[in-house]
With several copies, the nearest count.
Chain A
């Protein structure tokens, strides 16, 4: 039996979604002439500014396209569902946003994305546009600390992209924006939990199974298996397991400040995310650190997967300033 979706032909889902997005947000977004899968910020890209290009597979909305706009990303290259975009849209993004100060690619650390964006970067080099790359690796569950370079990028993208986008918006040079992006990535930690599978529009089959009553901690945002499966626990226990792991990675000192994202994977109601946030904030207070800002909602999803993730960004003066800097995206605003 097919999973329930409000779609037409599953193979058209991504392109129809992008049409719907441009119809709703044409004031801030447009498609590139060269590629319908390259979505460009109408305001943002400008001469002398480092261009920030993000991207990855579809199915994580509002990531990535929702974070394109003034003060954040200048463009996003959009792939098929859970599939890296090919080099062409990424290259189209580069050409559209390049303001002479170079371009930074930022995306989650997945084999496919690395290969495709690297090919795009090689092509850009042929046009004498300097492209640097910073991979996000915030998913602490995706590899042990001694293999940090194997970790995946998940909901923490939200903070990492935001910091880099703000740095570029401050007209810092490529060197500096890259440095800040790496710094932001190094200080951002995410743990996720999944309660149900999701299904691709093209297959309409559950992409894995998670039996009644069970949850999986550390599951990837594409349904990649996680680190521990077991019976669903109370919210406070789930959050405690996440926070223990996050605190374990982050060596915060008394009085340090953090930014928090309690993120829904798609099918989990705000009620549950805010219940989680209550515990997250209690744990942060117990740790003797304080929360500078909190976001709660669906920021990095996995289609209709039920579950959530908690991201903590360990702030310093620079990161706090960059996170607070206004931005205007179709699906996210800081004022």
Chain B
């Protein structure tokens, strides 16, 4: 898999975020400030534009470009979190022109670590880390299988993790002030994380 496959993956994610924009805003409205969909579709929209004119790049360039584009388009909480995730992903495959299936679990884990590092969230805090954490574990467990399989495993784990956030009390982010009132609502960041991974898996399957 080369830089173009990474681009394709990000473009698929961007489309998914456009489709989910209003749904994610509505989710964020329940326990946050109703803009998560705007942030994610805006951020990936910026990635779409930025990677379009990026020729002869290696995967790391694509990830670094994505990181900068997302960060400056969005700000918010998701900006630094995903920017760091993409920078870590870029670092994880530094120097490689081609990425093979065995690298994919490391990519997912690197993104999860970036988010954990930047956000200082703990598992169970009801954040996107509760999707990315399980995704990372599942990807690692699926190591050795085809990239698409690894990503589907990660996506499924992220989806389960996102579902589980409904049962968590928010400890960080805007929802934290809610305490018990945040129960019963899925965390928007965890939800979008699952959607992203699914879209990436799909595109990997095709490509």
Contact = CB atoms under 8 A, between A and B. Distances in A.
Q: Do chains A and B touch in the complex (CB under 8 A)?
A: yes
A32 interface: no
Interface in B11-45: 21-22, 25-26, 29-35, 37-39, 42
A203 B38 CA distance: 8
A200 B39 CA distance: 12
A85 interface: yes
Interface of B, helix, strand, loop or mixed by DSSP: helix
Contact of A112 (B22, B30, B79, B177): B79
Counting chain A CB atoms within 10 Å of each CB, the highest count among B33, B78, B172, B174 belongs to B33
Interface string B77-101: 1111100000000000000000000
Given A80-B76, A83-B35, A222-B33, 15 more contacts: A11-B42, A82-B35, A83-B38, A83-B76, A87-B71, A111-B173, A112-B75, A112-B78, A115-B119, A116-B75, A116-B76, A143-B177, A203-B21, A203-B25, A222-B34
B54 interface: no
A38 to B, nearest CB: 12
Nearest to B70: A86
Contacts of B72: 86, 88
Given A86-B79, A116-B79, A142-B177, A223 B34 contact: yes
Given A80-B38, A115-B81, A223-B34, A86 B22 contact: no
Contacts of A111: 77, 119, 172-174
Contacts of B178: 224-225
Interface string B156-196: 00000000000000001111111001000000000000000
27 contacts: A57-B76, A79-B75, A80-B35, A83-B35, A83-B38, A83-B74, A83-B76, A86-B80, A88-B71, A112-B75, A115-B77, A116-B76, A116-B80, A119-B80, A142-B177, A150-B177, A152-B177, A200-B35, A202-B38, A203-B25, A208-B34, A220-B33, A222-B33, A222-B34, A222-B174, A224-B32, A224-B174
Interface of B: 21-22, 25-26, 29-35, 37-39, 42, 71-81, 118-119, 172-178, 181
Contacts of A200: 25, 34-35, 38
A205 interface: yes
A237 interface: no
Q: Which 4 A-B pairs have the closest CB atoms?
A: A207-B34, A222-B33, A112-B77, A83-B76
Nearest to B175: A224
Contacts of B75: 57, 79-80, 83-86, 112, 116
B35 A81 contact: yes
A110 interface: yes
Contacts of B42: 11, 80, 202
Contacts of B81: 115
Contact of A225 (B74, B79, B173, B181): B181
Given A205-B22, A224-B174, A86 B35 contact: no
A110 B118 CA distance: 14
A143 B178 CA distance: 9
B29 A207 contact: yes
A162 B71 CA distance: 30
Contacts of B22: 203, 205
A115 B8 CA distance: 29
Contact of A223 (B33, B173, B176): B33
A82 B33 contact: yes
Contacts of B30: 208
Contacts of B172: 111
Nearest to A209: B29
